[in-house]
Structure 1
Amino acid sequence: MSPEEQRLRLADGLATIGEHVTTLASDASTSDLGPRGGFVLEMVATEEAGKFLSLLDAARCLSRPHSEQVDQLKRCTDHVAKGIYARVVDIRPADLRELTAYVDLLRRAYYLDGPNDDDWIFRNEIESAREEQMYVDLVESDDGIGWWSPKRFDVVGRSTGPSAAVELVGALVRLGVGTTAGIDATVTHWESLEPDLGPTDEQLFEGLEGLPREEQARLIRARNTSTQWKEIADRVQATLGELDAAGLAGKASERDRHLVLECWGFPLYAVDVHKPNWKAASADLERLRAVQGTSRGVTVQPINIKGDD
């Protein structure tokens, strides 16, 4: 596929997904739906917003190697990846290192939580939240085996409105991002970005013990090479300026511009947003069970892990 065809496909995809997101959000706010139907419609709108943002990252990485571009497009079909794209709209990390740490929490296959931090083992939060609001499932828990229904969420009532991810997608559409000229503007201001994940914790904090606090802070700043939020904000501002100059943002409001400046953040194509494979997830589950057993004074037998990646 030629670069021109790539940009046409991306623009068509963004326009089509953007229309779907805004229509779902409108239907959710105006339709006479009960809490269950409303939750599902809003959840699908948010997930499709995550797909939009993932596809927009494909435009931001058009200059990257082909293998990275292919992986980026695969994220549009991954429920966890789309959920992560939607969730990160809500945070303002100082740098890419901080964002990566947050994403690592979201993509865990299993995690411990509860009043004592290790009372129960939960599966991936994004997957479970999605499925528990959509499906009736037969579930094995500490209370035994039983049927879980979305009915238990009815008491919560309807949400107060569209998610930040849905609102961001609407703003980007009105600013003209879902057009070939919008893709051109995006590529122009993002193709030179080389995301830097920054140092590991060991590299960042090595040798700091015993030093004065001011010196520790100075060394941490000097060692932290991670891409900063300011660089991202500058590129967003430049992209908006080009969209305005091209006459694409005629339908956008000042609120739309503010929302994009605040919420369209780091590209995630350099960050792993996939849930661990089966073998890694099984090993992690064994580790969490061992942690539970240790805290309760119980010896936990290891799991016999079988199966493919």
Structure 2
Amino acid sequence: MRKAPDFGQRQAKLICQMPYDELLRFIAEGLPILLESARGFWSASCHLSEQPREAEVLAGFAQEEAAKILILMDAVRCPRHLIAARLNQIVSRFYGHLERLIYAEVCDGWSQDIADLRKRVEPLRKSHYIEGDVGEYIVPNANLYRRESKLYADIEAYEDRVPIWNAPKTYPGFFEPRMPSVLAVAEAMAALGMFSLSGLNATAQVWGALDFAEHESLRDAERLTDQLVERLVTEALPADIATQDHVFVLGRHWPLPMYNVELKMVDVPLEDLKQEQDRILWAEAGY
């Protein structure tokens, strides 16, 4: 069978063939484009207070566009001598909704080291899990379900296989919308000059000195972030709008590198879920 032309959108895989210096130049060209896309979605969402579902959909798009920035920055942070073996996996995350949502979520908390980060990410990867006071419900991946159920009207079914309609909806919050942490990190990177080619070279050289594989820790990340900010300032790369708040956001919300952390979905067999339900039920009964 003859193949259709392989060009158009969704061609990020092509950057995996670039020489390293060309790769950094190409990433530097794209990061401001990604940030403007994320900003546009976020700005639009903030003007839809009377349409909360649509506002949340756009805020979700802003998160995922900003997450692409962090994915590419993980390629930059990866030690140069290891990037050839890892770049395909890193770039594949660029198009994965689940992977982008995981990047966005881990910006909201701390991980003490890479091993701890893996433990935190593991439940986020599961296709289904148990929920309810005594584990009575089997439900799909929460991040993906929240995304899809707000975005689409659809026909869905649960364990009983009875089809029902999903009518996209959400509920208005009581507070003003807060910029997603993943977008705040991207804004901090831009303000501090990290999107320029010089900024990416500085990031690559500082972070590339350490491979975050297992026990590399938050303390290591704090040290490297401090070194990077010092170098950015020395090279006069931060924009006039840069403040100490941007430095704080970078140190507080930029997650540990995830180039050594598996993010692909784990399909959980139905029989495993039912066994877990039985275990929870017997434990609740005192057996």
Give the C-alpha shift of residue 43 in structure 1. Answer: 0.7
Task: Give the SS at the match of 1:178.
Answer: coil
Mapping for residues 11-160 of structure 1, pairs under 5 Å? 11-30=28-47, 34-61=51-78, 63=80, 64-116=82-134, 118-141=135-158, 144-151=162-169, 153-154=170-171, 156=173, 160=177
Measure the CA separation in 2 of the matches of 1:74 and 1:269.
11
Runs of 4+ in 1 over 3 A off after TM superposition: 30-33, 154-159, 293-297
CA separation of 1:123 and 1:31: change in aligned 2, threshold 3 A: closer
Give the C-alpha shift of residue 62 in structure 1. Answer: 5.3
Give the C-alpha shift of residue 157 in structure 1. Answer: 7.1
* Farther-moved stretch of structure 1 (100-109 vs 138-147): 138-147
Give 2:117's aligned amino acid.
L
Of 246, 257, 266, the residue aligned with 2:235 is 246
Q: Note the alpha carbon deviations across 1:228-285, whole angstroms, 9 max, x for none.
A: 2100110011111111122121221221111111111310000001112xxxx153x3
Of 257, 277, 282, the residue aligned with 2:247 is 257
- Structure 1: 5+ residue runs without aligned partners? 198-225, 298-309
TM-score (ref. length: structure 1): 0.79
Measure the CA separation in 2 of the matches of 1:3 and 1:296.
54
Mapping for residues 174-253 of structure 1, pairs under 5 Å? 174-197=191-214, 226-250=215-239, 251-253=241-243
Task: Give the SS at the match of 1:97.
Answer: helix
Measure the CA separation in 1 of the matches of 2:217 and 2:268.
35
Aligned match of 2:262? 272
Measure the CA separation in 2 of the matches of 1:163 and 1:65.
29
CA separation of 1:30 and 1:249: change in aligned 2, threshold 3 A: farther
- Corresponding position: 1:290 with 2:275: yes
Give 2:255's aligned amino acid.
G
Measure the CA separation in 2 of the matches of 1:287 and 1:262.
37
Task: Give the SS at the match of 1:141.
Answer: coil
Give 1:248's aligned amino acid.
L
Task: Give the SS at the match of 1:111.
Answer: strand
Give 1:255's aligned amino acid.
D
CA separation of 1:295 and 1:265: change in aligned 2, threshold 3 A: closer
Q: Note the alpha carbon deviations across 1:90-133, whole angstroms, 9 max, x for none.
A: 111222111110000111111111112x1111111221111011
Task: Give the SS at the match of 2:163.
Answer: strand
CA separation of 1:95 and 1:296: change in aligned 2, threshold 3 A: closer
- Structure 2: 5+ residue runs without aligned partners? 1-17, 283-287
Measure the CA separation in 1 of the matches of 2:50 and 2:62.
15
Give the C-alpha shift of residue 286 in structure 1. Answer: 2.0
Q: Note the alpha carbon deviations across 1:4-57, whole angstroms, 9 max, x for none.
A: 211111111212111211222222224565111111110100111111111110
Task: Give the SS at the match of 2:212.
Answer: coil
Give the % identical residues: 25
* Farther-moved stretch of structure 1 (157-166 vs 88-97): 157-166
Give 1:126's aligned amino acid.
N
Measure the CA separation in 2 of the matches of 1:293 and 1:82.
33
Give 1:253's aligned amino acid.
T
CA separation of 1:95 and 1:53: change in aligned 2, threshold 3 A: same
Give 1:169's aligned amino acid.
A
Q: Answer yes or no: is the 8 Å Cα contact 2:71–2:94 preserved in 1.
A: yes
Give 1:122's aligned amino acid.
V
TM-score (ref. length: structure 2): 0.85
Task: Give the SS at the match of 1:138.
Answer: strand
Measure the CA separation in 2 of the matches of 1:34 and 1:269.
37
Q: What's the C-alpha RMSD, in Å, of the aligned pairs?
A: 2.0
Q: Answer yes or no: is the 8 Å Cα contact 1:15–1:179 preserved in 2.
A: no
Q: Answer yes or no: is the 8 Å Cα contact 2:151–2:168 preserved in 1.
A: yes
